[in-house]
């Protein structure tokens, strides 16, 4: 996510506390927050899908492959 969007999220937050937001600003804030959360989830999923563990028998297991599609959103 672009740094500019994070800055805009923070600007809208400060404005909401100081003077309130217009309806279009509230929608923009909600859209930016949704995009931010989706980005964080995607990054986390990517990291978790690349975790390998070594079993006691020496074999290596990729947790992303093992649990892909199980219990995810």
- Please give the average per-residue pLDDT across 19-31, as a whole number: 96
Band of the pLDDT at 1, cuts 50, 70, 90? low
Contact by Cβ (8 Å): 21, 12: yes
CA-CA distance, 13 to 9, in Å (whole number)?
Answer: 6
pTM: 0.69
More reliable by pLDDT, 9 or 72? 9
54: β partners: 60
């Amino acid at each position: 996510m672009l740094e500019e969007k994070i800055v805009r999220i923070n600007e809208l937050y400060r404005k909401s506390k100081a003077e309130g937001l217009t309806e279009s600003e509230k929608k923009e804030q909600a859209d930016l927050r949704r995009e931010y959360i989706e980005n964080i989830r995607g990054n986390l999923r990517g990291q978790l899908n690349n975790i390998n563990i070594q079993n006691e028998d020496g074999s290596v297991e990729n947790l992303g492959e093992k649990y892909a599609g199980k219990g995810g959103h």
